[in-house]
Structure 1
């Protein structure tokens, strides 16, 4: 740990995204602001006989075009391909990093731990049974590498020449929030100047869809109208919609970013995490550890609760999560809970699992840059017990300076971070051709 006496400020200088709402960050933000759904019929497998046939799916994505070098694509799973593509976009927007020390540039990624697919297990079983258990099911090194959680971060590190701190976490739906938060701390504490951080996932497989459906976590409503299926905070909500995608950001020490005239999108001002110690899948009715994570994230940003203008909710559309999150918000913000705006991007994209908090970050960045809060779509019949301002139906223009991003996961893990508008200390400086804004 660095001996730096004062915490260093951390800013965001690049963002990339591949989501059901668009194959880059600008188109993803545009869909969020427009309240456009990316939930559609599943195409990754034949779901015609499944109880759930819809998901938030990436469409029109070409891995060859997004990741030109074949050696970088060789060992990537579908989800990892999204992650590397998002990383390339984020690094491109951040601009040339050649003047910085590569050993002070790192990577921090949240993703699903690699595992054998059910079809592969079935093939193994068939071979063993057909040969009387006398043969060994052999796999190529490439198959093994594709399941390695470190494959995508290793490619990202090579592309960005990131030789400093390395963090890889697998905390389910809070994965990208933890990855971004831990990267934030690496810079804040002086162990790095630049961190590429975020998450990716692609659980729209037949095993995952069936598993979550049997668990009772997925909604079975509106199969013929996929865009209306995910209904966070609505009285009719009865489950989430699976999604897939990736969001990666470049975090940078503020003075370092200013010295190289980087375009600063916003500031990452605080982070905290906690654990419910309640149940694996259920959210605690009293708000549980989400209260601590939200309160400590705001406290670490040196803001007061009443300074927060917008909360990007975890907002899954399950009965328990939405109720628990609402209770937690009221506990942390008191009377201000009725003034702060709250909305859920999952209503449009589904649940991107390990990449979910990354999508929430896109919403946060867009809101502080354009004073537009994305809506919670499909919120038609408000639950009388959930009485906050969830920005139903359409985006809302409002002055946004400070945003809290929530991420809560299976296993009871919680992670929250605070995004603030960066003072326009360099808005009059012309950006280079390598830089662009969110839109």
Structure 2
């Protein structure tokens, strides 16, 4: 089986506009959740989000004919892709274009509710649909962002666009990993992007009772829901020998991928740990790692009562008496939905590189039922040889990745 190296990382998140600044924020325990201003939220019960600040697409994305058509979420994704390629080294292009692939978890393109209201009103009063610029249609097209990411790396091999909600980036990275393992390509851009910071998204998740109005507190007894975020994380995956031959810097080796479905409820997490147990167990088996060899878990850790309990039960089932440190980056970034697993992978790679575990902030009142080591409040020195990355989504889709120090 072919080995897979991670040779490039790029990010645009609420903690920073690069992978390095995002890691610095995670390590410092900095909160990127602030007042929401992508729309006028003054009348909404939830007025906070993990929002990207200071992003300029004109400086972050090279000018071409498609930049002006990219949605806010896709702009983050394309910018992160260019960063990841730059981080991979100047000679990544030596891999032939037909041996390069891409797999991206992306939000589903859909019209804004207000557009539908306007169209219905125009149809009722004037008997015709309003005219709309082609660029407006393109901005809602999910595959335009993925296509632009593939073009950034001139990827002419297998290209996949996945929509599995909060597990999107995890599945995308895992499927790109499989493509390289199976010999379908030698290099792949993989990750996710999303920006569910519109009024309709905030309203919808508020009506579901899923959002917290006062901050993200994973594993805390007072947790009250998750906080929406936005951003993108893309990585460059590369066949091991190809990376070694060109002298690439290797951030880590991807050694396992597991996927499962809870088959429980659309939004609730199963109290018995469900498919998360299967996903984590299969990753360990594929990677050939015992539970005692995992030094850190980047948890899904949303801050909802059901998810945190379900993930805790699953970790206890898989790891038994092994007390592995677990922390939730969402306490700092909010929930980047389709890009969330990318943030967790970035956190795991940072922990491997620096020997520092990013914390779970806002954890002041531990829930006694969730008695794991959550690295509360501040980062902790701890050598990390191998780590797991969890992503458990609405709809019950689960993805888990295993990454270890390059050797």
Using the size of structure 1 for normalisation, the TM-score is 0.91
Q: Deviations over 1:227-267 (max 9, x none)?
A: xx110000000100000000000000000000011111100
Q: CA deviation at 1:370?
A: 0.5
Partner Cα distance (2:353, 2:66) in 1 = 33
1:181 aligns with 2:167: no
Query: Following the alignment from structure 2 to structure 1, what is the Cα–Cα distance between the partners of residues 93 and 224?
Result: 50
Shift of 1:181: 0.3
* CA RMSD in angstroms, aligned pairs only: 0.8
Residue 244 of structure 1 is aligned with which of 227, 230, 233? 230
Q: Give the deviation of 1:121 after TM superposition.
A: 1.1
Per the alignment, residue 20 of structure 1 pairs with 14
The correspondence for 2:95, drawn from 87, 96, 100, is 100
Shift of 1:61: 0.4
**2:59 matches 1:65:** yes
**CA distance in structure 1 between the partners assigned to 2:93 and 2:228 by the alignment:** 39
Q: Partner residue of 1:297?
A: 283
2:301 paired residue among 315, 327, 334: 315
2:356 equivalent in structure 1: 372
- Residues 1:75 and 2:69 aligned together: yes
Distance in 2 (alpha carbons) for counterparts of 1:283 and 1:55:
23
The structural deviation recorded for 1:140 is 2.6
Contact 2:255 2:286 survives alignment (8 Å): yes
SS of residue in 2 equivalent to 1:286: coil
Shift of 1:137: 3.0
Partner of 1:171: 164
Q: 1:173-211 CA deviation, whole Å, 9 max, x = no partner?
A: 000000000000000111110000000000000000011
User: How big is each residue's C-alpha offset from its partner over 1:356-409, in whole Å with a ceiling of 9 and x where there is no partner?
Assistant: 000001100000011110000000000011101000000000010000000000
Structure 2 length as normaliser, TM-score? Answer: 0.99
Task: State the partner residue of 1:432.
Answer: none
Residue in 2 aligned with 1:398? 382
Give SS of 1:74's match. Answer: helix
Q: Choose which of 343, 347, 351 in structure 2 pairs with 1:363.
A: 347
Q: 1:146 offset after TM fit, Å?
A: 1.4
Conserved? CA contact 2:218–2:304, under 8 Å: yes
Q: Deviations along 1:2-33, whole A, 9 cap, x unmatched?
A: xxxxx100010000000000000000000000
- What secondary structure is seen at the aligned counterpart in 2 of 1:150? helix
Deviations 1:11-57 (A, max 9, x none): 10000000000000000000000000000000100000001000000
Matches of 2:283 and 2:66, distance apart in 1: 36
**4+ residue stretches of structure 1 with deviation over 6 A?**
none
- Structure 1 stretches lacking a partner, 5+ long: 1-6, 223-228, 424-439
1:219 paired with 2:212, answer yes
**Residues matched between the structures, number:** 406
Shift of 1:62: 0.4
The whole-number CA distance in structure 2 between the counterparts of 1:157 and 1:325 is 34
Instruction: Tell me the distance in 2 between the aligned counterparts of 1:386 and 1:113.
Output: 33
Cα distance in structure 2, aligned partners of 1:99 and 1:118: 45
Q: For the residues of structure 2 that align with 1:354 and 1:157, how far apart are their CA atoms?
A: 17
Conserved in 1, the CA contact under 8 Å of 2:78 and 2:152?
Answer: no
In 1, the alpha carbon distance for the partners of 2:36 and 2:51 equals: 7
- What SS is found at the alignment partner of 1:16? strand
Distance 2:103 2:93 in 1: 20
